[in-house]
Chains A and B, each alone.
Chain A
Amino acid sequence: MSIEPITGRYLTVEIEGAPRRIYFEEAGQGRPVVCLHTAGADTRQWRHLMNDAGITASHRLIAFDMPWHGKSLPPEGFETQEYLLTTEAYIETVLAVIDGLGLDRPVLAGCSMGGRIALQLAALHADKFSGFIAIEASDFQPAWYDIDWFHRPDAHGGEMGAALVSANISPYAPDAERWNTLWMFMQSGPGVFRGDLSFYTRDDSLIPRLPTINTAKTPVHIIVGAYDLTCTPEDAARTAKAIPGATLAVMDELGHFPMSEHPEGFRPFFVEALEKMPKSTSAAA
């Protein structure tokens, strides 16, 4: 028998003028690190790192389910709404959670769409953070598939979404974690993956903002997997080049969901990224 050190609670904040009940998990103590999940998934992607005593000894890892994801319910009246995530709502959500939890300039670590919004926050709200770890993150890519595939009454969006994103998982990933990763996509609510991808594949507002990011005040470290078909190493390198002072690491044997698909392979890259962040918020001020 074993009980994990991860604890989960709920936080209610106001987003877009209405309450959102948000589920968050945390583990560890020390420098706060807010961890953002990918499109169509949830906080469970971060569970391996949150159970890593070597990391949580000096870091308080906090992950939350975006509204509509995992254990964060959609807003009241969702049944008549079309879920389409926007940059503005995403930023408002992250800032509301940080304020709601009273976090003082945490490190922000986000993967995929979480990495994209991390870079947006680096450009627009850097003062709220001490540094940014942008995983599988880039300036912009249009979809290489029809995102409407993932919300149809005649097919299971979760089954299709999982089968599609499996293209982004490395053959080096252990089978158990490959399928654990895909399970989250299979469980995603109707239209949620599509709504996330709407943000990810249609909003290119980050591109002109990249040169304004001040990495001298808040470092930006980008990590990308060679097996990522969605955000390729070329996409990540182009993005890093556009941010003065940003650093980049390429993981030769990993894909688009590194912390989830191959936690052991990802760990050294995440530790390296944490080491690039300011040791304390006061040191970064």
Chain B
Amino acid sequence: MLDTFKQIQTSLEATPHLLRLGRLFSETVLIDVDGAEYYLTFEKGRIVSIAEGPSRKTPWRFALRTDAEALDKFWQARPEPGFHDIFGLVKIGRGRIDGDILSLVKNLRFFKDVLTLARAKEELAA
């Protein structure tokens, strides 16, 4: 999972429009996968550090809690219904969002697009 988040970090550096969208986003986000904690710290749209938990000393703005199987499905090119969006994960009971949800919603497009940087690429022509 750590490798996937590092892949997202690298991809984000190569995605100028997302860096532009995230230029006002400087927060630490907790991603909890089956109880394993990953702290992604954003600085003006860049992921400047990825730290593994557990940590009681690291403040975070909001958290996405889910499981590895759900994320694996989320990152498929054409996810099944419900696995196609973080709010879908919440809706089908495979995810939970905690913390400052308004901060997430204000930066929702940026955050969702960053997470999908790990989504498998596939020719989506119907």
Contacts and interface: CB of A to CB of B under 8 A. Distances in A.
Given A155-B106, A159-B109, A171-B78, A166 B124 contact: no
A172 B109 contact: no
A262 B106 CA distance: 27
Interface residues of B, number: 22
B105 A160 contact: yes
Given A226-B81, A227-B84, A164 B124 contact: no
Interface residues of A, number: 24
Given A159-B109, A229-B85, A172 B126 contact: yes
B106 A160 contact: yes
B88 A167 contact: yes
A164 B126 contact: no
Interface in B66-125: 77-79, 81-82, 84-88, 90-91, 101-102, 105-106, 108-109, 112, 124-125
Nearest to B109: A163
Given A229-B88, A229-B91, A166 B81 contact: no
Contacts of B81: 226-227
B79 A166 contact: no
Most buried by B among A166, A167, A227: A167
Contacts of A265: 126
Contact of B109 (A146, A162, A227): A162
Contacts, number: 57
A104 B35 CA distance: 61
A182 B105 CA distance: 15
Interface string A134-159: 00000000001110010000010001
A52 interface: no
Given A145-B87, A149-B102, A227-B81, 6 more contacts: A160-B108, A162-B109, A164-B108, A166-B109, A175-B124, A264-B126
Interface of A: 144-146, 149, 155, 159-160, 162-164, 166-167, 170-172, 174-175, 226-227, 229, 253, 262, 264-265
Interface of B: 77-79, 81-82, 84-88, 90-91, 101-102, 105-106, 108-109, 112, 124-126
15 contacts: A144-B90, A145-B105, A149-B102, A155-B102, A155-B106, A160-B108, A163-B109, A164-B87, A167-B84, A167-B85, A171-B77, A171-B84, A172-B78, A229-B82, A229-B88
